[in-house]
Amino acid sequence: MRRLVVPLALVALLGVDAAPASARQPANPWLTRRVLNIAHQGGEDEFPSNTLYAFRKAIRGGADMLELDVGVTSDDQIIVMHDTSVDRTTNGNGLVSEKTLQEIQGLDAGYWFTPDGSDHYTHDRQPGRYPFRGVATGERRPPRGFEAADFRVPTLRSVLQAFPRTPVNIEIKGRTKEEDPSEYVRNAEVLARELSGVNRDDLIVVSFQQPAVDHFHELQPAIGVAPGVTGVAGWALNGSPPAPGTVAFQLPITYKFGDSLVDVTTPDTVARTHRGGYAVHTWFGDADIDGARTWRKLVDWCVDGIMTSHPVQLERTLKAHRPPKGCAPG
């Protein structure tokens, strides 16, 4: 596989100087924090994905911020789940968009989580290898300090209520097999309505679909956003300002493009993004290793946040490996 560092649409902020002065974000609060330990899906390799149990354990283990995914049920309720269907992580089956909130919350969100192996949601283990199976439904006693509800599919509202002082990154998903972009936009509208009464400055809303990001910002301009794929590409290729309200660029470390592996996050990428007035939060592509060696490299490159499926392990690395003095953005 060839490895490239090139300006490429849809994948990177590479080879382009800082954004025009009019696009700069003065006093961006996301540039004044330490390297954020961002628990991706609550740390889905350490705890059951996108559950209150995972979020509580991740924060207790040192995470600074929660990353979660939201979708819309058939009765227009915002629930927290990564996938289009409930099949992979719960004891149910079918699309999120075809189920009511009551049906969703009757499921066991810890049903298929196992701490064993590299695939923590495999369906081929013996029943005893799934330690949280049955907690949500009352068939098994919850761990000390937790309750059955911590293992059900949560609503976004319940997460924000449970973590009123914890920054949260909210990704808008589509919820059909076809992943119709118009559905992302509709879900952005439902999310904006859900957040209409929320007075917080520690939320970031993002989606791969730029129209969803744009529509959300139109409806909730006070909440920071991160660009989608086309928003990143436009700023990368011609320096055009990203969408209004942008506070951070959330980038993979690498991206597979055909038979080539493109370096997306590099020291130059981070420096240029900082000069534009934006934070850099990284996530792990298919070819990236979510582990200590990569985390130390990202810290040395001055990223502002690392989205990890191992927040407890990442915290140990962040305590031992500090950013270089030259990492102050600006």
DSSP string, 171-223: EE---STT--HHHHHHHHHHHHHHTTT---SSEEEE-SSHHHHHHHHHH-TTS
pTM of the model: 0.92
Ordered by start, the domain boundaries in the chain are 2-85+156-327
The CATH number of 2-85+156-327, from 1.10.3720.10, 3.20.20.190, 3.40.50.1220, 3.10.20.30, is: 3.20.20.190
Q: Which of 40, 120, 215, 281 does the annotation list as catalytic?
A: 40
Residue from 82, 217, 274, 310 carrying the catalytic annotation:
82
Rounded distance, CA 285 to CA 305, Å? 15
Helix (H) or strand (E) holding 249, with range, is strand 248-252
Select from 79, 120, 84 the least CA-distant residue to 102.
79
82 in active site: yes
Catalytic residue check, 40 = yes
- Tally the residues of the chain: 330
Could you list the pLDDT tens digit for every one of the 330 residues in the chain? 444 443 343 444 444 454 444 444 468 999 977 899 999 999 999 999 999 999 999 999 999 999 999 999 999 999 999 998 999 999 999 999 999 999 999 999 999 999 998 999 999 999 999 999 999 999 999 999 999 999 999 999 999 999 999 999 999 988 665 667 899 999 999 999 999 989 999 999 999 999 999 999 999 999 999 999 888 888 777 677 888 999 999 999 998 878 888 898 999 999 999 999 999 999 998 899 999 999 999 999 999 999 999 999 999 999 999 999 888 654
